[in-house]
Amino acid sequence: MLQNIFFGLSLGAVYSLIAVGFALVFNILKFSNFSHGGVMSFTAYAGYLAYILLFDGKITGVTMFVAVVLVAALVGAVTAVGIERVGFRRLRRNQAPVIYYFISSITLGILLENIITIFASSNFYSYPVFFSSSNIQIFGTSFSIADFVTLLFSCVALGLLLFVLYRTKLGLGVRTVSFDVNTASLMGIDADRVVMATFAMSGALGGISGVFLGMNYSLYPQLGQLVVKGFIASVIGGLGNITGAVIGAFLLGIVEVGLIGMVGSGLMPACVFVVMLVFLLVRPQGIAGKIVQEKA
Amino acid sequence: MNAITTTSCGLLEVSSLSKSFGGVRAVCDFSFNAQPGEIVGIIGPNGAGKTTAFNLVTGVYAPDKGSVKLDGVELSGLRQDVIARAGIGRTFQNIRLFKGLTVLENVMTASDPYAPYGFFSAILALPGKRKADREAADKAREYLNMVGLGGMEDARPESLPYGLQRKLELARALAIRPKVILLDEPAAGLNPSEVRDFIELVRRLHERFNFTIVFIEHRMEVVMNLSHKLFVLSFGKLLASGDPETVRRNPEVIEAYIGEEE
């Protein structure tokens, strides 16, 4: 039982990274950025390549894990910024309707997957094993070290993000632009740079989640389609709301683990989508919807 | 803030500005100027193109034709954030505050746009940066005190009465350290005592910063009390200009505007 809850939390932590990366962009440009999935696939491969080409045999264990995560985060940030330049900046200049962003993001996501398939084939690769002993004993129950590290790293990344958003000038810029781009520009804020920084943060989170996904599910080009989990968490939590996304993601993780126990892993995804449908129909503003209303 | 005191700062020259939306000529060949430190009023009937003129000056729209020069530097065609940083601040006819931020944060969004948004320094929270953050907050508090909003730093702008929201917009506009400040109907929606209070506030700020002020206003009390010079806009075109008394007596102006208002 305790083990399951812990597994749920760790799963929720990965989902929350995805959901927050997703919510950051939604917050500022008001569309669901499905290219985030492409970024996650891409960074998962980048982390794997970094391991093979740079780190293999030189460093081990936690050091290597940290190095791979950092490379993936960096690649994610750069990729997301590139995606913004290619796919969205022109749309913003032309003040295009939101649906164009949406289509552009799906296109770019699929494009990234296909590029990966060209260079890496559609084979499955198994991610390096970072931690030699797979379990630790706490209070007589054994916990997986990978889950433990996942949870720890996700929380650190989220904490860092919240710090930037609420305690720095950059964060203030992001929040300002998300309320009203036009007025923000008239107050001298360079909206292009703020949007770029937002994509960089979103991409870095996508990179970290990419590595975790690779560790959990092995590596394949469509790995990033797990972005749907982040999307579901965002909908449950309230689209565009960072706190809501985190809450939604942890709930989703625990519910999924619970459902596997109750209905089995085959039926679980269907049940999750039913839950999401119910949320869309009954409470489209999500769990945190009320709070967003008050803030906005 | 030392640059503001030199005489060459705040010279706004707008010449033959034109803008059409579809077939509608919103602003047509409109020229006006403001000398450094001058307070200039723009009046005209509703729909005359006054706010459009402001939007053209601040870069919200690119003009079809014409130029906007601040201290001799051409600004038309530049991005709105660049124009703002060049020294043109503004407020809005329909108050546009950031409702999700606190009163203090609203002012801080605009304060010191010159400070870089360094990503890594933001994450690393370097000591120098923390000091800069504190200074930015202090500065923002100072602007709030100037407009009489001291002590309301943590309030949400939407919870403030209308008159105070107007003052908050003013404080935010001050924070970009403008050479020229554009006020779009700053007294709209204020009651008579708030209007008198507002005129006093603008005078005080003008004395303190000696910046150039251009404002759009319908209230004659404000127009006659504040402006050194008036420009009258009607159907997108300049109808008359000059000192307030002369303009007030101009029969064309009375027919187009003042006559119907009072």
Record: contact B98-A183, CB cut-off 8 A? yes
Residues of B in Cβ contact (< 8 Å) with A182: 60, 80
For A65-79, letters b (16+ CB in 10 Å) and e give bebbbbbbbbbbbbb
Domain extents in chain B: 7-87+178-261, 99-177
Q: Residue A103 belongs to a domain with what CATH number?
A: 1.10.3470
Record: contact B172-A193, CB cut-off 8 A? no
Residue closest to A214 by CA, chosen among A28, A52, A87: A52
Which of B4-13, B50-59, B137-146, B172-181 has the weakest average pLDDT?
A: B4-13
Q: Mean pLDDT across the stretch B30-37?
A: 94
> Does A115 have pLDDT greater than 50?
yes
Record: contact B110-A187, CB cut-off 8 A? yes
- Give B214's strand partners: B40, B182
- Give A141's strand partners: A138
Record: contact B117-A185, CB cut-off 8 A? no
**pLDDT confidence bin for A33, thresholds 50/70/90:** very high
**pLDDT confidence bin for A123, thresholds 50/70/90:** confident
Query: What DSSP string runs through B172-206?
Result: HHHTT--SEEEEESTTTT--HHHHHHHHHHHHHHH
| Tens-place pLDDT, residues B165-187 | 999 999 999 999 899 999 999 99
Contact A258, A252 (CB under 8 A): no
Give the nearest partner residue to B81 out of A164, A185, A200, using CB atoms: A185
The pLDDT value recorded for residue B262 is 44
Q: What does the alpha-carbon distance between residue B262 and residue B260 come to, in Å, rounded to a whole number?
A: 6
The pLDDT value recorded for residue B119 is 52
The pLDDT value recorded for residue A293 is 42
- pTM of the predicted structure, to 2 decimals: 0.86
Domain that holds residue A225: 1-129+139-282
The pLDDT value recorded for residue B126 is 62
- Best to test chain A binding among B109, B120, B121, B126 (most A CBs inside 10 Å): B109
How many CB atoms neighbour CB B138 within 10 A?
10
Q: What is the CA radius of gyration of chain B?
A: 19
| Tens-place pLDDT, residues B142-156 | 999 999 999 999 999
- On whether any CB of chain B is under 8 Å from the CB of A185, the answer is yes
Q: What does the alpha-carbon distance between residue A207 and residue A219 come to, in Å, rounded to a whole number?
A: 14
| Tens-place pLDDT, residues A39-56 | 999 999 999 999 988 877
Give the nearest partner residue to A179 out of B85, B89, B100, using CB atoms: B100
| Tens-place pLDDT, residues A232-243 | 998 888 888 888
> Does B64 have pLDDT greater than 60?
yes
**pLDDT confidence bin for B7, thresholds 50/70/90:** very low
Residues of B with CB under 8 A from a CB of A: 58, 60, 79-81, 84-85, 89-90, 92, 96, 98-101, 105, 108-110, 113, 115, 117-119, 122-123, 125, 133, 136, 172, 175-176
Record: contact B98-A160, CB cut-off 8 A? no
- With respect to residue A73, please indicate whether it lies within any of the assigned structural domains: yes
Name the minimum distance, in Å, from the CA of A185 to any CA of chain B: 5
- On whether any CB of chain B is under 8 Å from the CB of A169, the answer is yes
Q: What is the ipTM of this complex?
A: 0.80
Instruction: Report whether CATH 3.40.50.300 matches the domain B7-87+178-261.
Output: yes
Q: Mean pLDDT across the stretch B93-99?
A: 91
The pLDDT value recorded for residue A69 is 94
Give the nearest partner residue to A176 out of B80, B85, B98, using CB atoms: B98
Number of residues that make up chain B? 262
> What residue of A is the nearest CA neighbor of B54?
A186
| Tens-place pLDDT, residues A167-198 | 888 889 999 999 888 899 999 888 999 999 99
The pLDDT value recorded for residue B125 is 57
The pLDDT value recorded for residue A291 is 45
**pLDDT confidence bin for A296, thresholds 50/70/90:** very low
Record: contact A180-B96, CB cut-off 8 A? yes
- Strand B229-234: give its sheet, edge to edge: B88-90, B180-184, B212-216, B39-43, B229-234, B237-242
> What residue of B is the nearest CA neighbor of A159?
B123
Name the minimum distance, in Å, from the CA of B20 to any CA of chain A: 18
Give the nearest partner residue to A295 out of B85, B100, B176, using CB atoms: B100
**pLDDT confidence bin for B252, thresholds 50/70/90:** confident
Q: What does the alpha-carbon distance between residue A146 and residue A132 come to, in Å, rounded to a whole number?
A: 10
A178 alpha-carbon distance from chain centroid: 19
- On whether any CB of chain B is under 8 Å from the CB of A115, the answer is no
- With respect to residue A20, please indicate whether it lies within any of the assigned structural domains: yes
Tokens for B216? 């759009």
Q: What does the alpha-carbon distance between residue A137 and residue A139 come to, in Å, rounded to a whole number?
A: 7
Count of structural domains, chain A = 1
> What residue of A is the nearest CA neighbor of B132?
A169
- On whether any CB of chain B is under 8 Å from the CB of A188, the answer is yes
- With respect to residue A278, please indicate whether it lies within any of the assigned structural domains: yes
Give the nearest partner residue to B80 out of A170, A179, A185, using CB atoms: A185
Q: What does the alpha-carbon distance between residue A158 and residue A23 come to, in Å, rounded to a whole number?
A: 12
> What residue of B is the nearest CA neighbor of A294?
B100
Contact A176, A184 (CB under 8 A): yes
Give the nearest partner residue to B115 out of A169, A185, A295, using CB atoms: A169
- On whether any CB of chain B is under 8 Å from the CB of A271, the answer is no
> Does B11 have pLDDT greater than 60?
yes
At a CB cut-off of 8 Å and minimum separation 6, what does A236 contact? A248, A251, A252, A275, A276, A279, A286, A287
- Give B241's strand partners: B231
Distances (CA, A) of A296 to A26, A186, B117: 14, 20, 24
| Tens-place pLDDT, residues B234-243 | 889 999 999 9
Residues of B in Cβ contact (< 8 Å) with A170: 117-119, 122
Q: What does the alpha-carbon distance between residue B182 and residue B88 come to, in Å, rounded to a whole number?
A: 7
